[in-house]
Structure 1
């Protein structure tokens, strides 16, 4: 017998005009300027050099990011790296695309979970639910999730599109992929959600992402604050890419990975995986990105810090190194 399903038509969807926002774009955004990098150490410089070298060798340079990277105002540095060809692929989770869209539309994002979940209103905002229709239109046109959202922001000239990673990726022809976990995002609460569309849009992006991974030899893979989606999607894509490479007598082993997060990891101690009795074992970026996938010849770096410090610092050094050459 079929199980009874929740009736989403009964939901009360309100306008974003009625929502109290925790983050304002223009007061949060970090400008691209010539000020000194906040973090200056050899690991930051090593990652920056690897980014520049990857460009010289025409290898992939991938930046995977969690939603907090957008919320903390890093998008202009991401767009600058995109413009310069220093990052050739951006990837995020569903929440990252939602913050990007809301910022582009109204210049604000983030709601109080404590306040609105208590009221039963968390996530139920009309304008944000528009993304479901945007994804449907994109799937009809053969697009993945990231390109569909970026296209909408750019072509509809949303007020703050110049700050949107997805929109600028669409405009410049740089892949920006969105890796959706069904049930993870506020979009999935809405009556206009279509699970088939979510799956199709996100799976297309996964295959686009995997194709980029096929060019990771001599390249760079960076993960900013995506503790689950980032390492898990990367692990499967890399395995697929290596499978095909091995059939051709080639290898994807010589590349640089970097993880930027606030989890404490002993400096230099991530060359081995901690035992299962150690909570660090369950921090996926450590065992997947920093250890297992570079065990055959790559290099890895971990930088503990806030995204508003780590991402601009790496970007500043990469830009400076490239400008010197």
Structure 2
């Protein structure tokens, strides 16, 4: 079949000055001067795409801090493994973060770092010999603290934080759990039975784990209720557990009469997974108004960058007050 070429001489054109565009010269990056203060670096970023989203996230977190709105930081275990505990502790001290939620792995890595100054074993090596996750001290101590804690009405997060402060190991100053307890910042731990190494130990009590994690869920739902009108929820590195927990906690809060609308939802990870994008970023903001933000990159780079950007925005906001 013969196909005749189209006649391009008949196409319609129009002036560039009548064309809507997404990029113009005013949005371009500025060359940073390394001799100037760090906060001025952020003024050099282009006002485009993810640079704009980074600064928007920093702006919303800074505004939440000044307006005393909730800023909940949900984190997977890799936030600790990437060496970011001192940063999270500082953000709690500065009341930038008002609640921390983590999964079982996050609590284990934090606990080991506080007690031994190290964490994160070679999984393949331990799996081959059947000794993966079988460190005696971690399993026995954490399980005992959780069991003792629920007896006096403490969830996993509070129990471990209080327990670490009581034990006072050498590196306790590096513990998010212990420092959250010191600062009276709520910290909740959300476990799925069988997913964490301490569940393999004979000292583990499923009854205590379930009751303590359930209490933490209820406390987390109370924290979610503080997000209304300017709060921020941040999910950093949890692909399944915490996004699911957040969605249910948000439902509970709204069901009990808390509006929980018009908040900012931020997901940070090295790749954007389906569940965090839907359950943290998209569905909650679509159903209650708010701002969805996704920032892709490695935790050890992105979190320090976000913290510095928050400080820059706080400086700017305070200066105009």
TM-score category by the smaller chain?
0.7 to 0.9
1:223-242 paired onto structure 2 within 5 Å: 223-242=235-254
Say if 2:308 is the partner of 1:300.
no
Partner SS state of residue 214, structure 1: helix
Q: Where does residue 196 of structure 1 map in the other structure?
A: 207
Say if 2:79 is the partner of 1:69.
yes
Q: Note the C-alpha offset of 1:185.
A: 0.2
The whole-number CA distance in structure 1 between the counterparts of 2:297 and 2:83 is 15
Partner SS state of residue 178, structure 1: strand
Unaligned runs of 5+ in 2: 1-36, 46-50
Say if 2:301 is the partner of 1:309.
yes
Q: Which residue of 255, 261, 267 maps to 2:269?
A: 261
Say if 2:178 is the partner of 1:152.
no
Q: Note the C-alpha offset of 1:60.
A: 1.0
Structure number with the bigger relative contact order (C-alpha 8 A, sep ≥ 6) is 1
Q: Where does residue 137 of structure 2 map in the other structure?
A: 127
Q: Where does residue 205 of structure 1 map in the other structure?
A: 216
The whole-number CA distance in structure 2 between the counterparts of 1:90 and 1:193 is 24
The whole-number CA distance in structure 2 between the counterparts of 1:106 and 1:320 is 35
Say if 2:321 is the partner of 1:322.
no
Partner SS state of residue 143, structure 1: coil
The whole-number CA distance in structure 2 between the counterparts of 1:138 and 1:35 is 43
Query: How many equivalent residue pairs?
Result: 271
The whole-number CA distance in structure 1 between the counterparts of 2:161 and 2:304 is 23
Partner SS state of residue 189, structure 2: strand
Q: Note the C-alpha offset of 1:315.
A: 1.1
1:187-239: CA deviation from partner (whole Å, max 9, x where unpaired): 00000111010011111111110001111112000000101011100000000
Partner SS state of residue 109, structure 1: coil
The whole-number CA distance in structure 1 between the counterparts of 2:199 and 2:160 is 16
The whole-number CA distance in structure 2 between the counterparts of 1:213 and 1:152 is 26
Q: Note the C-alpha offset of 1:50.
A: 0.8
Q: Where does residue 252 of structure 1 map in the other structure?
A: 260
Q: TM-score, normalised by structure 2?
A: 0.81
1:253-288: CA deviation from partner (whole Å, max 9, x where unpaired): 200000001225xxxxxxxxxxxxxxx6xx201111
Q: Note the C-alpha offset of 1:157.
A: 1.4
The whole-number CA distance in structure 2 between the counterparts of 1:313 and 1:71 is 18
Q: Note the C-alpha offset of 1:35.
A: 5.9
Say if 2:174 is the partner of 1:183.
no
The whole-number CA distance in structure 2 between the counterparts of 1:167 and 1:59 is 23
Q: TM-score, normalised by structure 1?
A: 0.80
1:47-74: CA deviation from partner (whole Å, max 9, x where unpaired): 1111111122222100000000000011
Partner SS state of residue 111, structure 1: coil
Q: CA RMSD in A?
A: 1.7
The whole-number CA distance in structure 2 between the counterparts of 1:251 and 1:111 is 43
Structure with higher Rg: it is: 2
